[in-house]
Structures are given as structure tokens and as C-alpha cells.
Amino acid sequence: KCSPGYFVQGNLSLVCQPCDYGSYQPNEAEFECLPCGVNFTTENTNSTNASMC
């Protein structure tokens, strides 16, 4: 399963992709990243918390 900061790409795939700039994922094994708020982004990819926006 994918670690926080990453998401599973595709339903049948075991490939973990990092959350892109402007998004984050605090949980494991999710299929998408959560967007930062309007006018916010992240300093890096694979962010794990909204406070990183």
C-alpha cells in the first residue's frame, strides 16, 4: 500500500505516485491526493498534511 504523501495510480495498479505540488495525502492507500486551498500550494511533492500548503 502507498504511504502518506502518495496515492495508488489506477484501480488495479500497485504503483504509488507522489502527490503533486498543491496537493497532499495524510492517509495510506488512497487513490487521490487532496487539493490545497485556493491560492495555496506546497513547497515539495509528496506532502502529507494540509499544514504543508
What pLDDT score was predicted for residue 3? 96
Query: In terms of residue numbers, what domain contains 31?
Result: 1-53
What pLDDT score was predicted for residue 37? 96
What pLDDT score was predicted for residue 17? 96
Q: Over 32-49, what HEC string results?
A: CCEECCCCCCCCCCCECC
> Per-residue confidence of the chain (53 residues) as pLDDT tens digits?
899 999 998 767 679 999 999 999 999 999 999 999 999 999 999 999 999 99
The model carries a pTM of 0.89
Domain containing residue 41: CATH number: 2.10.50
List Cβ neighbours of 3 (8 Å cut-off, separation of 6 or more). Answer: 16, 28
Per the structure, how many domains does the chain have?
1
| Closest to 6 (Cα-Cα) out of 43, 34, 38 | 34
